Amino acid sequence: NGIDPQMWSDIFSVEKVTDLKPMSIETNGMLAQKTVLRQPLKIGEYSLKISTRSDNRIFIPDGSELKYLHLPPAISQLSYDLNHGYDMVSDIHWGKPSNSKIDELLQWILRNRKKFMVAGELVPKELHTDFVCYRGLLAKIMTTPYETSHRWVICATKYRGTIYLCQFHESYPPPDDYYNKMSFGGFRFESFVTSYDPTIPPDPNDFDPDHHEYCAVMRSRLMAENVSHSLAFGAELDCVVPNLRENPGTLSNFVELKTTKVMAKEFQYRNFLKHKLLKWWAQSYLVGVPSIYCGYKDEKNVVKDVEQLKIESFPELCLEFWSANVCLNFLNKFLLHLKELVTIDDPNVVYQLAFQPHHDITCTRLVEPGDFQILPQWYIDEFAV
């Protein structure tokens, strides 16, 4: 789903075939807590091996790509050079968004349809779930009230009562070397602090350029005053902490890994709270991952300091810049709007929602979905029997 630049600008400029009521991004009255997310529970897992050079993707129906966090006992003495190994892989476009739509999540669903059955149901005919999507899409919507620079396109299809959502990414030319190296650094940091074996620490010289992802499938419910939305969503998870007691069914023993530049000046720290912590909060809050291990990169792109940041502390820390209530209330408003908009239950009908900063979200029903089709024929066929 990498959309070429011409097609992308058409989405925002060309006259629409069917123009539906746009959705306002106004958030007046959204500061109070009205919407809550029920504790997200894990209902399954799968793994992916993605070749960064060929884009070939392999779906593995188990948790074999789960990695464990390893930090040295003396955190003050660590030193991770995030440039290490970059020379060998500088031809790879490191920040490139995935172009796989939601196929792998759908594969998992087909294999686990029983998990969606309700009491008394003999054959699984529907998922009894309002929305199916990736966690990243939910985070994107939640943070939209504060988005002032990036546009997005999300498509929706209703099939057997469930609305499937998929984000479509703009295709970019390869980034310049500096930006590419920064994206590589995020993955390199992960390889310094994680390994497949909880008892064997990672080899700092070892780096596999392919992506190895562990994904969890989560279930939750967004609950507002007179309405609620059941959700099933997939999420890529960085690692689990060895020997940490988990709260069964939750991701309480997982951590998210991030890197950011050392902040020397007040304005840098304020920007960090305003932009990064908003995104980091939305990403981890949605799956109930309680903390982030943040590696601070110095001017040479070397991490000499890692700090554990608690997700629950972010909303108060960032009160001046963004509100968790606004994010959750807006997500509720968006999902409610989708339920009103996406009325035709047909796997071949696609509704397209497009956002650009400072504008309402436009809603279009595509007569010919083409590349924007979300559900593949193999998924529809399997359900039809």
> Does residue 170 belong to the site contacting ligand A3P (CB under 6 A)?
no
Smallest distance from ligand A3P to CB 304, Å = 16
Of 17 and 244, the one with the shorter C-beta distance to Mg ion is 244
Which residues between 97 and 116 bind Mg ion (CB under 5 A)?
none
Kindly state the tokens that stand for 302: 């070397």
Which residues between 256 and 275 bind ligand A3P (CB under 6 A)?
258-259
According to DSSP, residue 271 is labeled H
> Does residue 52 belong to the site contacting ligand A3P (CB under 6 A)?
no
d(CA 26, CA 47) in angstroms, rounded, equals: 39
Which of the choices Mg ion, ligand A3P, none does residue 183 contact, using the CB cut-off of 5 to 8 A by kind? ligand A3P
Do residues 355 and 152 touch, judged by C-beta distance below 8 A? yes
Smallest distance from ligand A3P to CB 184, Å = 7
Smallest distance from ligand A3P to CB 52, Å = 12
Closest-CA residue to 235 (of 252, 253, 214): 214
How far lies 317's CA from each of 278, 321, 324, in Å? 10, 9, 11
Which residues between 80 and 99 bind ligand A3P (CB under 6 A)?
95
> Does residue 45 belong to the site contacting Mg ion (CB under 5 A)?
no
> Does residue 331 belong to the site contacting Mg ion (CB under 5 A)?
no
Smallest distance from ligand A3P to CB 196, Å = 17
Specify the long-range contacts of residues 199-207, CB closer than 8 Å, at least 24 apart: 199/242, 201/70, 202/70, 204/80, 204/84, 205/84, 207/84, 207/85
Which of the choices ligand A3P, Mg ion, none does residue 104 contact, using the CB cut-off of 5 to 8 A by kind? none
Q: For Mg ion, which stretch binds (CB under 5 A), given 4-12, 154-162, 250-258, 316-324?
A: 250-258
Kindly state the tokens that stand for 349: 């009908």
Q: How do beta strands 19-23 and 302-310 pair?
A: unpaired
d(CA 237, CA 61) in angstroms, rounded, equals: 15
Of 257 and 374, the one with the shorter C-beta distance to Mg ion is 257
Kindly state the tokens that stand for 216: 């969890």
Do residues 354 and 362 touch, judged by C-beta distance below 8 A? yes
d(CA 282, CA 370) in angstroms, rounded, equals: 31
Of 45 and 238, the one with the shorter C-beta distance to Mg ion is 238
Of 135 and 365, the one with the shorter C-beta distance to ligand A3P is 135
Smallest distance from ligand A3P to CB 298, Å = 14
Which of 238, 330, 335, 369 touches Mg ion (CB under 5 A)?
A: 238
> Does residue 238 belong to the site contacting ligand A3P (CB under 6 A)?
yes
Q: Is 225 helix (H, G, I), strand (E, B) or coil?
A: coil
Q: For Mg ion, which stretch binds (CB under 5 A), given 121-129, 161-169, 234-242, 300-308?
A: 234-242
Do residues 166 and 361 touch, judged by C-beta distance below 8 A? no
> Does residue 257 belong to the site contacting Mg ion (CB under 5 A)?
yes
Which residues between 147 and 166 bind Mg ion (CB under 5 A)?
none
Kindly state the tokens that stand for 53: 């050079």
Smallest distance from ligand A3P to CB 186, Å = 2
Where do runs of H (alpha helix) occur along the chain? 5-13, 86-89, 103-111, 135-142, 177-193, 266-271, 277-285, 314-317, 324-341, 377-384
> Does residue 187 belong to the site contacting ligand A3P (CB under 6 A)?
yes
> Does residue 183 belong to the site contacting ligand A3P (CB under 6 A)?
yes
Q: For Mg ion, which stretch binds (CB under 5 A), given 19-27, 175-183, 238-246, 293-301?
A: 238-246
Give residues in contact with ligand A3P (CB under 6 A): 95, 183, 186-187, 238, 258-259
Which residues contact Mg ion (rule: CB under 5 A)? Answer: 236, 238, 257
